Amino acid sequence: MTNDPQRRRFLRGTTAAGALLATGTLPLALAAPTSAGAAAAPGDPWERARQIVERCSRPLTFPKVDFPITAFGAERCALVPAESVWRNARRQVQTPAAGAPDCYPAIAAAIAAASQAGGGRVLIPAGSWHCKGPIVLRSNVHVHLAANAQVYFSADPAHYAKYGDVDCGKAGKLVLSRWQGNDLLNYSPLVYARNASNIALTGEDWTSVLNGQAGVHVDAGAGPWWDWVDRKEGQVNAATANPLNAALESVAPALTAEQRARIQGTHPRWNGDPRYLPALSEAGVPVAQRIFGIGHHLRPCMIELIGCNDVVLEGYQVADSPFWQHHPVDCRNLRIRGVNMESLGPNNDGFDPESCDTVLVERCTFNTGDDCIAIKSGKDRDTQYGATRNVVIQDSVMNSGHGGITLGSEMAGGIEHVYAQRIEFRNAHWSTAPLGSAIRLKANMNRGGFLRHLYVRDVVLPNGVDARARKVAPPDPDKPFKGLATGAGAIVTIDCNYAAEDDGVRTRPTVVSEVHISNLRANNVRMADGEFSGWQALLILGPVAASFNGPPGTPIPPVSNVTITDSDFGTPRNGKEPIYLYNARNVVLSNVTIAGKVINKTFSA
């Protein structure tokens, strides 16, 4: 857990609880509405950002009635030492003692009572609470964790296949979810809401913790969640084929043999759970028939909200999430503020808004096992929710992660009008777990979609990004892009050939245009062999025609209209090639310093 005394004092002085008790409303911005910048000039794209912030600053109102979970029978639990394991990383943690009381029934009853009363605040008091099931949010209900309230979610996956609203027999009682851009029936996320409005999940400060216990082996049943990632001798998991997954001939009999072959591709484990789900989407199999849950190994998100409007997420800490930490899907008017995302497990993205409109991320801190933020919009044929648009990210800190501000890779519905400002890509753990890239787009011929109107300004990288030495791969005419630093090392990365062979269907070129970055400042870090800010300053790998397997003659557009102005990229380690471009047009660098040299030039490649 990150301890920042000054920040903690700030949070205590401006708590969500204090605002609610004083006014009966929970502002999306506790202080006065934050401007997205100085007064905008006519035609200034940042005017849209200001409007997004203003819209997300409108208060939510809840009845001034508390529903403490202790009034519904919840009991605190004792804790005992345990170990949290992800591959070779082992941490000493605490977990509920054997026989700890289950507070799931009390939390569910308190939320139900608040909902039936027309709304109110469900209070989780200080103490340790063992929860053997999901917290399901309802309209007009505010769930608040007091200071020093810590919810330890059960590590047993079976507890998240008991309470869903869709009875799927042996697979369990499941919920409608979305997993890496595809819809399915699956284990419930640990905190879940669907089609709710006017909802809030808040904490008093970062001692208010939601702990997913995803690496703890105590009372974990078929888990813990993180154990599902790597192959283990004699076990079926996410890294193996799954015999429960029926052949496409039986689930999609209308497909031709050619269509089946393209969807399945050539991967020997195409019918393992992570690849089988997108195959069902490509095959047009209805969501009601995409049944996973028990017997399958697709880990749920920590917090997932689907089809929700007017949402506040504020002032708590997330730890040890099974999968993505926050995943709003098809949500409108959502603000996440002052949340600490401290989870370094597999695929532990911090905040992944998908097909959402009007989102504000503010004063959050990210230390993640994958992308800090990854903006998404569906995959394969699951694009019914449309694009993600109108997102502002500001005044936040990013430490470990694959990418800081990332767009994709699941972006089939498109992404537009994203604004990021006053971000510190702090990269505090640069020597042990470095941030891979500050600004990152990842897509491929399967993901498709579009990215347009991305604006970034006033960002700093006090410790650069991943600056470790890399082996330069020898030329390989069959793999011309082998060895590029698309995964980590470039401060700004646009990768339109990300994981290109993961999907059999590659018929949707991504269109990337109008990316504008200004006032980016990167410092070097002192390493054993010199001082560097990363491997490269800028890497743009546009769509690769050779990866396309759709109709001949389909245009393969270049990445276009990228501007970088008034920026300093420090000293990239790859001094011979600090900038890499492929299939890119009109990339304009104006007053850009790289390794002490000022560049004013327009590139195309």
Residue carrying the six token digits 């590029």: 484
Write down the pLDDT at residue 471.
83
Write down the pLDDT at residue 217.
95
- Name the band, by pLDDT with cuts 50, 70 and 90, for residue 372: very high
Q: Where are the domains of the chain?
A: 5-77
Asked whether the beta carbons of 8 and 204 are under 8 A apart, the reply is no
Sort strands 525-527 and 597-603 into parallel, antiparallel or unpaired: unpaired
Give yes or no for residue 354 having a pLDDT over 70. yes
Q: Which string of b and e fits 387-421 if b means at least 16 CB within 10 Å?
A: bbbbbbbbebbbbbbbbbbbbbbbbbbbbbbbbbb
CA distance 78 to 75: 10
Q: Can you tell me the mean pLDDT for 214-221?
A: 96
Dump pLDDT digits (tens) for 79-107. Answer: 999 999 999 999 999 999 999 999 999 99
To the nearest 10°, report the CA torsion of 125, 129, 135, 141.
Answer: -10
Record the pTM. Answer: 0.93
Give yes or no for residue 344 having a pLDDT over 60. yes
Query: What percent of the chain has a predicted confidence (pLDDT) above 90?
Result: 89
CA distance 466 to 468: 6
- Name the band, by pLDDT with cuts 50, 70 and 90, for residue 42: low
Give yes or no for residue 162 having a pLDDT over 60. yes
Q: Can you tell me the mean pLDDT for 239-260?
A: 97
CA distance 350 to 326: 6
Give yes or no for residue 31 having a pLDDT over 50. no
Q: Can you tell me the mean pLDDT for 339-365?
A: 98
Dump pLDDT digits (tens) for 506-543. Answer: 999 999 999 999 999 999 999 999 999 999 999 999 99
Q: Can you tell me the mean pLDDT for 21-27?
A: 39
Give yes or no for residue 24 having a pLDDT over 60. no
Write down the pLDDT at residue 30.
31
Mean pLDDT of the chain: 93
CA distance 402 to 409: 13
Q: Can you tell me the mean pLDDT for 263-267?
A: 92
Lowest mean pLDDT among 23-32, 62-71, 383-392: 23-32
Write down the pLDDT at residue 478.
82
Write down the pLDDT at residue 23.
36
